[in-house]
Amino acid sequence: KVNIFWFRRDLRLDDNVGFYKALHGKHPVLPLFIFDENILGELPEDDARVTFIFDELQKMRNQLQEHGSSLAMYHGTPKKVFENIISEFEVQNVITNHDYEPYAKDRDAEISALLEKKDVGFFTYKDQVIFEKDEIVKNDGDPYVVYTPYMKKWKATFSEDKHVKIYYTSQVLDNLVQHSLLPNVSLSDMGFKRSKIEVPDYDVTPTTIQEYEKTRNFPAQEGTSRLGPHLRFGTVSVRKMVKKAIAKKNETFWEELIWREFFMQILWHFPKTVDNAFRKKYDHVPWRNAKADFEKWKEGKTGYPLVDAGMRQLNQSGYMHNRVRMLVASFLCKHLLIDWRWGEAYFAEKLLDYELSSNVGNWQWAAGSGVDAAPYFRIFNPTTQIEKFDKHHSYIKEWVPEFDTDDYPEKMVDHKEARERALETYKKAIN
Ligand code: FAD
């Protein structure tokens, strides 16, 4: 008999709660990854995240082979894959880590029902966050919808001894199915090709954390951790990162990690916010949704240099600095009166660190429609933002080489007029 450990958004062998629990079970563990057709079917053939996942899995497969085992990799729908595996192996339990997204919740319900019929157990663990679901709620049991009290309760509940314990697996890696020929798939088998965009390593040295407050707001500096994709795909453990933040006593960096969990619990409690405004009346905003305007924004040809630099950074590298994300999102929703869902979808396609909960949460923040959102009348001024955050135009020049030439486009809208139009439109819609 075997126990299956199903890797999903936790692509690492060490300090992985579910994998650790599986390795401590009675039966040898068969490590599994499924390239889920339901997700992959919607992605472009050179999607950079698929390349990243694929490369990380090959590394894990090599490490597992050093222990006489391997990683079984399949491409298909989880339902079909599990039907096949349970007919091929004698499976006692399937073990995996929690995933809080609506699709993943449905998928787990489907798989657990299928397994139950075959008398196979399905066990799941918390791994990708410190606190999940209902662990941080108000005293009356309601979820927090404002960040600061959530963060305070999070910190008050947190104990270093209890919540950032490391789940070392190196001692138990021999409890694996000894079988080095488990199925593999290649990118081309799945209709994908290697992307030119690579996910950079993360940078969480004591200095980065210590300097974080001073550097994090300036897009020309490499002042942030670049942890996004690593937390998203689990190539790093969140417990280790929180431990580092605490060791350096950097509250700001720590609080960013709490923002991530804040939006995850929002998505868990309010799954409808994926495509509905959290504050319902904001769904009455009559978006202009001008397609030609949207194209200019996407291409970084709005005539507002910081907006354009951000969009070009996104298009070329799969990353955009947080400061600039806030600006381009505000510009799309307010200056252009384009539905935040359009922007959210474009970011989802391009961002290496795309995370449904954070992306929706932050887009709704920018549109004014979300939990703890910026008030609708807060409209970023795309010119003064340059003075504040890219005074020497270093970031702009890096991404918009024609910035100082006649080739640079005219402003697509006048700031003052667009601002007034946005104020008027929003005011009418929500009152
Ligand atoms: P750091 O500044 O080093 O922060 C460390 C980590 O804290 C991040 O990796 C992230 O996990 C978390 N974090 C930081 N800020 C936020 C935040 N505002 N909300 C949630 N978590 C945060 N972040 C994503 O991870 N995925 C997204 O899809 C995403 N979409 C966004 C869309 C918009 C419109 C905006 C304004 C922000 C978005 N963010 C998103 C938040 C933030 O911009 C990125 O997390 C950050 O820029 C990633 O760079 P970093 O890893 O160097 O971050």
Beta bridge partners of 124: 96
For residue 8, give the 3-state DSSP assignment. Answer: coil
Q: What's the farthest any 2 CA atoms get from each other in the chain?
A: 71
Tokens standing for residue 2 = 């075997």
What single-letter amino acid sits at 139? Answer: N
Q: Is the pLDDT of residue 106 over 90?
A: yes
Phi, psi (rounded to 5 degrees) for 85:
-65, -40
Residue with tokens 């209709």: 191
Contact call for residues 79 and 114 (beta carbons, < 8 A):
yes
* Cα 74 from chain centre: 23
Q: How far is the CA of 409 from the centre of ligand 1 (A)?
A: 29
Is residue 325 in contact with ligand 1, taking CB distance under 6 Å? yes
- Helix (H) or strand (E) holding 7, with range, is strand 2-7
pLDDT at 25: 97
Give the C-alpha separation, 170 to 188, whole Å: 33
Q: Which residue has the CA at smallest separation from atom 48 of ligand 1?
A: 228
Q: Is the pLDDT of residue 431 over 90?
A: no
Phi, psi (rounded to 5 degrees) for 226:
60, 30
Q: What is the pLDDT of residues 327-352, one digit of tens each?
A: 999 999 999 999 999 999 999 999 99
Is residue 57 in contact with ligand 1, taking CB distance under 6 Å? no
For residue 157, give the 3-state DSSP assignment. Answer: helix
Q: What is the pLDDT of residues 24-33, one digit of tens each?
A: 999 999 999 9
Q: What is the pLDDT of residues 157-170, one digit of tens each?
A: 999 999 999 999 99
Is residue 244 in contact with ligand 1, taking CB distance under 6 Å? no
pLDDT at 253: 95
% of the chain with per-residue pLDDT over 90: 96
Q: Where are the beta strands (DSSP E) in 90-145?
A: 91-97, 121-125
- Closest among 399, 233, 213, 234 to 225, alpha carbons compared: 213
Give the C-alpha separation, 11 to 280, whole Å: 37
- What ipTM was assigned to the predicted interfaces of this complex? 0.99
Instruction: Give me the domains of the chain, ranges plus CATH numbers.
Output: 1-127 (3.40.50.620), 128-165+203-269 (1.25.40.80), 280-430 (1.10.579.10)
Query: Which alpha helices (H) appear in 41-198, and where do they start and end?
Result: 48-65, 78-88, 102-117, 147-157, 160-163
Mean per-residue pLDDT, 78-102: 97
Q: Is the pLDDT of residue 374 over 90?
A: no
Is residue 257 in contact with ligand 1, taking CB distance under 6 Å? yes
What single-letter amino acid sits at 407? Answer: D
Contact call for residues 389 and 218 (beta carbons, < 8 A):
yes
Nearest 5 degrees, angle CA 363-CA 364-CA 370?
A: 155
Count of residues making up the chain: 431
pLDDT at 50: 98
- Helix (H) or strand (E) holding 304, with range, is none
Confidence grade of residue 293 (pLDDT, cut at 50, 70, 90): very high
Give the C-alpha separation, 320 to 316, whole Å: 10
Q: What is the DSSP annotation of 281-301?
A: GGGG------HHHHHHHHHT-
Q: Is the pLDDT of residue 248 over 90?
A: no
Q: How far is the CA of 323 from the centre of ligand 1 (A)?
A: 10
- Helix (H) or strand (E) holding 98, with range, is none
SS3 content of the chain, % helix, strand, coil (to 5): 50, 10, 40
Confidence grade of residue 373 (pLDDT, cut at 50, 70, 90): confident
Phi, psi (rounded to 5 degrees) for 130:
-80, -45
Q: How far is the CA of 228 from the centre of ligand 1 (A)?
A: 6
Is residue 169 in contact with ligand 1, taking CB distance under 6 Å? no
pLDDT at 46: 96
Is residue 260 in contact with ligand 1, taking CB distance under 6 Å? yes
Q: How far is the CA of 354 from the centre of ligand 1 (A)?
A: 9
pLDDT at 249: 79
Give the C-alpha separation, 282 to 273, whole Å: 12
Q: What is the pLDDT of residues 46-77, one digit of tens each?
A: 999 999 999 999 999 999 999 999 999 999 99
Mean per-residue pLDDT, 356-367: 97
Beta bridge partners of 125: 97
Give the C-alpha separation, 30 to 6, whole Å: 9
Q: Edge-to-edge, what's the strand order for the sheet holding 91-97?
A: 72-76, 29-36, 2-7, 91-97, 121-125
Contact call for residues 95 and 124 (beta carbons, < 8 A):
yes
Tokens standing for residue 42 = 């919607």
Q: What is the pLDDT of residues 389-399, one digit of tens each?
A: 999 999 999 99
Q: Where are the beta strands (DSSP E) in 199-324?
A: none
